[in-house]
Chains A and B, each alone.
Chain A
């Protein structure tokens, strides 16, 4: 009986593979999420569950291909950058419409981009800091720039510049833009993306239905999306999310714990996907001369921080925590999927002898270091146990301090920590965001480490106006060298996005930035 069942399941998955050429339309895909979206709006989305849904509802002028690096036309059919880099002309595609059938006009684009540049609206306006003004033309918009900006094209392919309907905002209730945006995150709002919001129950469910006026064509020559609906259920508990998939109650579950990947891969009814991501797991090291309490900081020298890095067996961590799905970092500033990542080989390969030597030279031996971890996180607990063993070998004692997420964030800001766990995913398709976050002191004290390197800072500033790609790449290479050598972080590992889907789901994608793309997803019947 059991073999029969397996044979039947194998037959089903064979069918799925055979029919991979011919897409099938219709149906509802049910997807289990780890958290709900609170406000899906291009400028106010500030948490990953919000950000990663924006492009399903709102389309951008330019789009990033699945590799996360190549920019292709979106609502704009093309763009042109003037020779001095200070004028960008964007041409809109013909015949594009919002989900209510009204045309997407240059006025809508101007309105959307002006929202995106308004420093009072949301946390992302800094990404468009170089934009001086936006003017609508007959068939598009023109951006006048304060200075040349190498990142602007990537930003036009980023969620925060997605196009909203001006008419809808004008008509929406509310005194402020934010109130209007909140009111518009509701069924019936005209949107430019492949889906419209059908209904939503805060914190538990959300349904998208296909936008009948979406412009992009599918493989069968008809407009996307293939699905009629996407139905989301919010299940914060990892194990329950997977049980629901295994029980056939949902077609997909995101954030599969890495410990479950092998098991789900072996299940013929489940298609276990590991999407390349820009996610890095690292730990900021307090690099200041003294600790927050005024005592001398044993990690103040780069030799000490290098010793700590050399003493960590990253391959072991990749096995222990990511169960072989991750890999050690090769660029100190970013994941290898990020543009301009310079692959300098594995960073700080495990070398106890070298670590001991550096530890002795820098007076790190015998030091007591506190690792601040996230309470309740089993990954952090494993990391601590492993690091405690590994650093014991170079004579460093590690204590653990377990806190919740907001407390960890507060400690990062105040510098009241030795080393704490952290992670990062790019929101933007350009390395400037992550480089600014991790290394540029004025942004946030180089992720709160207090590391402040004049050469790095000036290289970063220069790179933000450098439009010669070659030169910018050089600047980035140098920044990565400086950063790797100074080691204000424990460089741990990169992880993919683990999503488990039923075997009959095809074409779903989570981009390296984390965006959930349902526009090309379809279910084989």
Chain B
């Protein structure tokens, strides 16, 4: 019951935020310079054809009315027609969501798989060679732009060694896993560095804590202690961190999907930007905002479930 009311109050909080999000997106898109009609039409189009497009888009209406229509249409699932793809924006986005969602989830899994073991190794070898090597490695990784890592992986692992396909998405689940391995790895690097850093200090903290010293003095083995005390705490903070880095992960997919020719939302966003496809830019920005909010919400739920104290505050 209490978790249900928590969920409801959390959902209610989202509404005003989202209204503001809509305002930001609407204003942003209305401020796009130039005439959307010219962006939509071919260079060869005549003035009369341009006017026709302006009327169809409702560009001659007052701003407030345009915002009202925007909210109303969006709520009823009508996000307009993409200039670039000449198809309903909602259809286009729905087609692409699974790709980006797959990539993001894949990246999350990979970053946990990478960061987890390395964090434990680093913590157990605190300030020794292995620890310093692992931390320096991540430090260098964090100083490398995502597009550059992608480029290197693409060139060496895909094009030269042919271990992975050069971009694309594939059609079956296994193909997705194979095609998206390098892009997911690229996106995962940033989050795995953060998770590693956090897990490492969490492990160190637990190892140094009095009750652990006590437990050890009682003769409990280190792995049992780690399993019992570290994992639970680490899980909560890792979930929090992952939730907070969702914006970062999504930013990563923007660049990575472009480098690896993955047909997801990020690549579409850049294509829309270059084509000044404003209904699509509008729809995509909103989609990204919705996805981030959902992840925030989900993170809160998981946290509340893992740590009941949070529900009370």
Contact = CB atoms under 8 A, between A and B. Distances in A.
Contacts of B42: 46-47, 123
Contacts of B95: 201-203
B177 to A, nearest CB: 17
Contacts of A240: 154, 166-167, 259-261
A469 interface: no
Interface in A223-267: 233-237, 240, 243-244, 246-247, 249
Interface string B69-113: 000000000000000111100011001100000000000000000
Given A38-B86, A203-B263, A412-B43, A243 B154 contact: yes
Contact of B159 (A234, A247, A444): A247
A412 B275 CA distance: 16
Contact of A444 (B44, B154, B274): B44
Contact of A406 (B259, B267, B271, B276): B276
A235 B261 contact: yes
Given A123-B44, A240-B154, A404-B274, A202 B38 contact: no
Given A236-B271, A240-B166, A410-B34, A202 B261 contact: no
A437 interface: yes
Contacts of B261: 233-237, 240, 244
A40 to B, nearest CB: 11
Nearest to B40: A406
B195 interface: no
B interface, how many residues as a size bin?
Answer: 35 or more
B33 interface: yes
Nearest to B84: A38
A407 interface: yes
Interface in A404-427: 404-407, 409-410, 412-413
B165 A249 contact: yes
A413 B38 contact: yes
A202 B259 contact: no
B166 A247 contact: yes
Interface residues of A, number: 33
Contact of A410 (B35, B44, B258, B259): B35
Contacts of B45: 123
Given A38-B87, A444-B44, A406 B39 contact: yes
Given A404-B274, A407-B33, A39 B44 contact: no
B34 A406 contact: yes
Given A249-B165, A404-B274, A406-B34, A182 B263 contact: no
B260 A407 contact: no
A405 B275 contact: yes
Contacts of A38: 84-87
Contacts of B120: none
A409 B43 contact: yes
B247 interface: no
A204 interface: yes
A234 B165 contact: no
Given A38-B87, A47-B42, A202-B92, A405 B274 contact: yes
Interface in B154-188: 154-155, 158-159, 162, 165-169
A39 B83 CA distance: 12
Contacts of A407: 33-34, 276
Nearest to A427: B44
A355 B31 CA distance: 43
A249 B276 CA distance: 32
Interface string B37-79: 0110011110001000000000000000000000000000000
B268 interface: yes
23 contacts: A38-B84, A38-B85, A46-B44, A123-B49, A182-B86, A182-B87, A201-B95, A203-B96, A233-B168, A233-B261, A243-B154, A243-B155, A243-B159, A243-B167, A244-B261, A247-B162, A247-B166, A249-B168, A376-B274, A406-B39, A409-B39, A409-B43, A437-B44
Given A46-B42, A46-B44, 19 more contacts: A182-B86, A182-B87, A202-B87, A203-B85, A237-B258, A237-B261, A240-B259, A240-B261, A243-B159, A244-B261, A246-B159, A247-B159, A405-B275, A405-B276, A406-B39, A407-B34, A407-B276, A409-B43, A413-B38
Interface of B: 33-35, 38-39, 42-45, 49, 84-87, 91-92, 95-96, 154-155, 158-159, 162, 165-169, 258-261, 263, 267-268, 271, 274-276
